[in-house]
Amino acid sequence: MKRILFTTTALLGAVLTRAQQLDTLAPRQPALQLEPSATQQPDSFALGILLSCGTAGVVITEATRQGPQPGTTIQPALSRIAGVQVTPFSGAPGAWATVRIRGVANVAGNSQPLYVVDGIPVYNLDAKPEEWTGPYRFINSNPYNPVESAVPFSPMGNPLLDLPVEDVAQVEVLKGAAATALYGMQGTNGVIRISTRRGADGLALAQKLRVRYAGWGGLQQVRQRYELMNARQYAEMANEAARNDGFTPPYSPAQLNSLPEADWQDKAFRVAGMQSHNLSLDGLTDHLTRYYVAADYLQQAGVLRNSALSRYSLRANVEQPVGRKLTITARVAGSQLDQRQPGYQSDAGNLLTSLLQAKPLVPPPAPDPYYTYDPLRNLEQVYFAPRTRRLQGQLQLHYQIMPALAVRAYASRELAELQGDLHQPAFAPPNSPVVNYEQRATSDTKTGVYGAELRYQQTLQDRHAVTGSLHYQQQRYKRKLRLQQDIYSNDPNLPSPTIGQSYFQTQLDNDPLHNATGSVTYAYDGRYELQASMRADFLLATDERSEQHRWFPGAEVRWHLGRENFLLHQSVVSTLTLRTGAGRTRSFYSFDQTDHLDAGLLLGVLQDKLTLDAQVYRRRTEDAQTLLSGQFYGTNGPQTYYYQSLVGLQNQGLELTLQGSWQLGQLRGLSTVAVAANQNKVTALRFNDQAVDKIDNLEKGQPVSRFFVFEQDGTYPAGSPNAGQIRFRDQDNNGRIDNGDGVYQGNGLPRRTLNVYQQLSWKRWQLQAQFDGLFGYQIYNPTLLGLDRPSGGFNASARALNYWTPANQNTSIPRPLVYTPFLRLGDNNLENGNHLRLSQLAVSYEVLNSRSRRLSVWVGGQNLFVTGSYRGFDPNVSSGGASPLLAGQDASVYPVARVWQLGVRGQF
């Protein structure tokens, strides 16, 4: 009976208020959008950014028809918002990216936000890289072995590639306490709301057929390479290593002068092309049919040989009024993504590590190439070729019952299908049976979302503004993924050609997730505003014991001081709003719970030509998602086991955004500076129902992502038994160096972020520039650790040229040895990740601008320079995936490329 009453209540109303509850008393147009010139249309200047002291935080509005859109997804633009960090898994074509909003709310789980496109949650049930091979791939199976670094398997490309940037009209980032509470058990990591384009840009005036084209071509190159020894330097080091271990030097003086040098990075990397084309038709007919139809093509050849990506996309949005009160909206989108990933491991991690460590010498000729080591063999002959197809459809009915009351109902389906095969030559040693290795990854995801909303909006006596909504939604997910590996042989002596088989498979077929939300907003006299909501997420079952109900309250209070009488009649302060909010969320199908408090101030002066948005927050999470690993030594050697503990987390921080629009003669500009500071720490630990202070690298009062290191105390001096070897501190004073001497240090999650965004307009010229900075974190690169320990068997870094000798003892680099000791990660091996990047630069020139025709050309680039001391490919990568526990790791994965672009945009 309780379930029936609860369901009836939900169905009567139906949930959710509009997700972007911005300041309901503020104008809907971007307050800081530049004034258009006499020859420009109202929307013709680049991105407008609306700063709101409301729940949504920040809105990035539709890109101008003339402004270039150089990215392949919308994710790089999200870092313009204070408190948002965007870190790619690698620079490979189609690579995933981690978007973190206001820190982290779990330890080893996924930290991705909820993506909502045109009001429907999408992309969120895709098989994420961490889910393909079980827990052992996103947890370092041996935290004491520094040469291991987890790289999740990523057969499915970034799902945001399904949505071309040119099809996007608006992006909203929900990070506030009250806003995320509206999404209940899906809102802990924040929400990214995306609106696609509508016919005639959503305007009410009739518009004839308009044809728009946006295209660009670009060249990519590796921005920074590893600095390694050349052939002679390596050979001299190998000779030194041989002498130190009592062996004959392998290279004679004559050989040193005629070494066949090989630059393996130069052979593996290339200057690669890429191109993007988007063609769209839109308009508003005399019968009020609003339509937008677009086709998009993206092709990218990777900077690493044998890597590539291509995307085909179609989209159609149609709106049709039926009578004066009913409007029917239909949206359909489909895409196909083809990738080519070289090597055995995702993002080319182990492939590039082997290549960097290879001797810088051309291998000598051999009678049988099979027995000749070739660092490029796997790059040229082994690749994974996944194909992802996606189809989305949505139907919505909107009925205006009366001017103040409206109802809408909607249904959506999303289908995503992946199939990928590993291609490699057969294992065929001379005079031996042929062995074939096959690997296939498949995934099938089906999502259904259905809902209805009743919305009331009314202003009474010109003072009391009331908005209320009831919304019900049902979400149903089905997903099956399988990774299978088979080994075959043509050996006639075997009873079966199959000599080995393994597979990993998971299947999700959940009961429908229901949610019901009621919200109300009340504003008095344009000065005082209260928002309150309550969302219930529940699973219905045949017995009450299996039912699950979760409640998520949210509230926010605002005081618009700028509309008080004591500030209303002065000319300096144009906007002044104070706000505070609270909300509760959870992670999807998890037991954690996050309570969120925040407060903010929005100050605008000089008719909002200069604004300051300041926000502080604190998020406390109980029972955060945690899966840890340990080791024990059994009869078959080291064994890894996994266990869970209950962890409490706290994130607190400050976000500041300063934005100004200005004009000097014909030069107009929009300048934005966004800075944020976040501090995360562990607040509680429980294991086996007991409160503890420390579990591995998790410790009360310390950040989540730390590194297990040994403190280096120089090198042993000449004359000692370990002369020239690295000396570590004996922390426990037991007379030997073991795991008990290791300590946890550093932080893989940036504590501070910076974004500077600048737009300039002068006559027909426009400029856009975006700078991004990450500060206060360290990077662990296991490849650099090995390259900094010289030996005769592998190449080494240029830094290793300063190795220890009796005449050069004041160095941190050990002496070369043929047989190197067990590698331990020293505290000085952690790299400083601080950097500032010119993420985007574009200069455009308007060739033609008439009432219906426009044409512009532009040149630009991405990742043009990066400051800092990091010696790897790029300091902003997360090769361990989205898990906070593995943040700050770089397994020498595929480099993020520098891109030079030339594009054209036009409409007719």
511, 526 in Cβ contact below 8 A?
no
Name the CA dihedral angle for 860, 865, 871, 872, rounded to a multiple of 10 degrees: -20
> Could you give the CA distance from residue 182 to residue 191 in angstroms, rounded to a whole number?
10
Considering 14-23, 351-360, 587-596, 735-744, the range whose residues carry the highest mean pLDDT is 351-360
61, part of any domain = yes
Q: How far is CA 338 from CA 15, 276, 475, in A?
A: 38, 15, 29
**498 against 409, higher pLDDT:** 409
Nearest to 589 by CA among 479, 743, 670: 479
Quote the domain boundaries for residue 336.
2-225+269-344+382-623+655-706+746-780+830-907
Euclidean distance between CA atoms 129 and 124, whole angstroms? 12
What would the 3-class secondary structure string for 827-867 be?
HHHCEECCEEEEEEEEEEEEEEECCCCEEEEEEEEECCCEC
Which of 876, 800, 906 has the alpha carbon at shortest distance from 75?
A: 876
User: Which pLDDT score, from 0 to 100, does residue 367 have?
Assistant: 64
C-alpha pair distances (Å), 869 with each of 338, 421, 731, 833: 36, 39, 29, 8
Smallest CA-to-CA distance from 891 within 782, 757, 764 is with 782
| CA-closest candidate to residue 24, choices 457, 605, 487 | 457
Q: Comparing 621 with 496, which gets the higher pLDDT?
A: 621
Q: Does residue 432 form part of some domain?
A: yes
What is the average per-residue pLDDT within 396-404?
Answer: 97
Residue 508 within any structural domain of the chain: yes
Query: Taking a C-beta distance cutoff of 8 angstroms, is the pair 313, 164 a contact?
Result: yes
Instruction: Evaluate whether residue 690 is within a structural domain.
Output: yes
| Mean pLDDT in residue range 791-811 | 94
- Mean pLDDT over 849-873 rounds to 94
CA 705 to centroid of chain Cα atoms: 17
Task: Give the C-alpha separation, 513 to 511, whole Å.
Answer: 6
What pLDDT score does 747 carry?
Answer: 95
Summarised one tens digit per residue, pLDDT across range 739-757 is 889 999 999 999 999 999 9
Write down the H helix ranges in 228-277. 231-244, 253-256, 264-268
Q: Is the confidence at residue 542, as pLDDT, over 70?
A: no
pLDDT band at 490 (very low <50, low <70, confident <90, very high): confident
Assign residue 130 a region (left: φ > 0; alpha: ψ between -120 and 50; beta: otherwise).
Answer: alpha
Confidence of residue 729 (pLDDT cuts 50, 70, 90): very high
> Do the domain assignments include residue 566?
yes
Answer yes or no: is pLDDT of 326 > 60: yes
- What CA–CA distance (Å, rounded) separates 326 from 231? 75
Per-residue pLDDT for 323 more than 50? yes
- The answer to whether 117 touches 194, Cβ cutoff 8 Å, is yes
Cα–Cα distance measured from residue 102 to residue 310, given in angstroms and rounded to the nearest whole number: 33
- At 508, the amino acid letter reads L
> Is residue 248 included in any domain, yes or no?
no
Q: Where are the alpha helices (DSSP H) in 55-188?
A: 177-181
Per-residue pLDDT at 427: 76
> What's the pLDDT at 640?
64
Q: Which of 7-16, 542-551, 724-733 has the highest mean pLDDT?
A: 724-733
pLDDT of residue 433: 84
Q: Is the pLDDT of residue 521 over 50?
A: yes
Phi, psi of 233 (to 5 degrees): -60, -40
pLDDT digits (tens, 9 = 90+) for 244-260: 999 999 999 999 999 99
Q: Is the confidence at residue 506, as pLDDT, over 50?
A: yes
Instruction: Count Cβ atoms within 10 A of the Cβ of residue 680 and give its class: 0-12 exposed, 13-18 middle, 19 or more buried.
Output: buried
Helix residue ranges, H only, 79-165: none
pTM, two decimals, is 0.90
In CATH, what number is assigned to the domain containing residue 130?
2.40.170.20
CB atoms within 10 A of CB 613: 22
Per DSSP, the three-state class of 165 is: helix
- Strands (DSSP E) contained in 54-127 are 58-60, 84-88, 97-101, 114-117, 120-121
Which of the listed ranges 398-402, 512-516, 732-736 does the model predict with the highest average pLDDT?
398-402
29 pLDDT above the threshold of 90: no
pLDDT exceeds 90 at position 171: yes
Give the mean pLDDT of the chain: 87
CB 175 within 8 A of CB 253: no
DSSP calls for 74-92: SGGGGGGSTTEEEEES-SS
Q: Pick from 495, 578, 450, 583: which is nearest to 174 by CA?
A: 583
Q: Quote the DSSP letter at residue 62.
A: P
How far apart CA 31 and CA 405 sit, in angstroms, is 28
- Specify the 3-state DSSP secondary structure of 615: strand
Give the pLDDT confidence of 618-648 residue by residue, as tens digits. 999 998 878 776 665 556 655 666 777 889 9
In a domain, 610, yes or no: yes
Burial bucket for residue 746 (CB in 10 Å: 0-12, 13-18, 19+): buried
Confidence (pLDDT) at 572: 93
Kindly state the tokens that stand for 140.
Answer: 């370092």
Q: From CA 222, how far away is CA 303, in angstroms rounded?
A: 7
Helical residues (DSSP H) of 743-902, grouped into ranges: 782-787
CB 788 within 8 A of CB 831: no
- Residues 211 and 204: their CA atoms lie apart, in Å, by 19
pLDDT at residue 146, rounded to an integer: 45
pLDDT digits (tens, 9 = 90+) for 32-86: 232 233 333 222 223 334 433 344 445 665 443 346 777 899 999 999 999 999 9
Q: What is the pLDDT of residue 349?
A: 80
**Total structural domains within the chain:** 1
For every residue of 33-49, DSSP letters joined together read PPPP-TTS-TT-SS--E
What is the residue whose two structure tokens read 């040895």? Answer: 817
Residue 433 lies in a domain: yes
Average pLDDT over residues 670-696: 92
Q: Band of the pLDDT at 130, cuts 50, 70, 90?
A: low
In the chain, the percentage of residues whose pLDDT exceeds 90 is 67
Which residues are within 8 A (CB) of 33 and not within 5 positions of it... i.e. 6 or more apart?
Answer: 45, 48, 61, 661, 670
In 424-546, the DSSP E strands lie at 435-460, 464-489, 498-509, 513-524, 528-539
